[in-house]
Amino acid sequence: MQGAFALHQEALHRCGVESVQVRNADQLLSCDALIIPGGESTVISKMLKANCLEAAFAAAVQNKLPMLGTCAGMILLANEIEDGTPDQTSFGAIDIDVTRNFYGRQVDSFESAIELNVPPSIASKLETEAQLHAVFIRAPGVSRVGDAVEVWATYDNEPVLCRQNQVMVSSFHPELIPEDDRVHQLFLAVANQ
């Protein structure tokens, strides 16, 4: 409904996976997995309400639909948003709390190498104990990590890529680095587990 969905579709296409843009409950029901893109979490939250998708989305979380939330998408999937707007909803798909704009405002956006540390059993053919180039745009931070959550990458000792069962979240925008689809491939591995 909002945000950087087109580039995610291109990344999925490169990974050999078909995707649709989800704007209503029927489209959501037709999916085996869902990516909630970066953008503006308060707007996505409002649009879910305005398009009567909130209940269907909450049901998809309840039914354990595999989900990847990047940046604003991570905020939507968190347990608690420490500085959300009063009308903003988070869906508790992964046991983390988040702080919006943790790394500062738009002008403080940055790119950096981050350290991936993913168990090789998840995707043995990928380089998962290596660096990854990450783009942070008004990125959220993870202020609490629940016991069941695995931290798969850090930047400056802060978790920036986390996974709990069928849900993965990143503070950064993996779709902006088209020459490296490892985050999407990892998500497909998680979704297929």
Residues that bind ligand GLN (CB under 6 A): 38-41, 71-72, 75, 100-101, 137-138
CB nearer to ligand GLN: give 46 or 144: 46
173 is a catalytic site residue = yes
CB of 168 to ligand GLN, least distance (A): 15
Residue 65 CB partners (closer than 8 Å, separation 6+): 31, 32, 33, 34, 166
**CB of 71 or CB of 132, closer to ligand GLN:** 71
Amino acid letter for position 34: L
From the candidates 8, 162, 175, 184, which is the catalytic residue? 175
Q: How far is the CB of 101 from ligand GLN (least distance, A)?
A: 5
Of 73, 51, 47, nearest to 61 by C-alpha is 73
Q: Would you say 100 or 184 has its CB closer to ligand GLN?
A: 100
Task: Name the residue nearer to ligand GLN (CB basis): 2 or 166.
Answer: 2
Sign of CA dihedral 149, 11, 38, 109: positive
Q: Residues 122, 127, 129, CA angle at the centre, nearest 5°?
A: 80
Q: How far is the CB of 99 from ligand GLN (least distance, A)?
A: 10
Active-site residue, selected from the candidate residues 8, 18, 40, 71: 71
CB of 149 to ligand GLN, least distance (A): 20
Around Cβ 20, how many Cβ atoms within 10 Å?
Answer: 10
Tell me, yes or no, if 175 is annotated catalytic.
yes
Among candidate residues 192, 172, 157, 95, the one with its CA nearest the CA of residue 183: 172
Q: Is 139 helix (H, G, I), strand (E, B) or coil?
A: coil
CB atoms near residue 105 (< 10 Å): 8
Residues designated as active site:
71, 173, 175
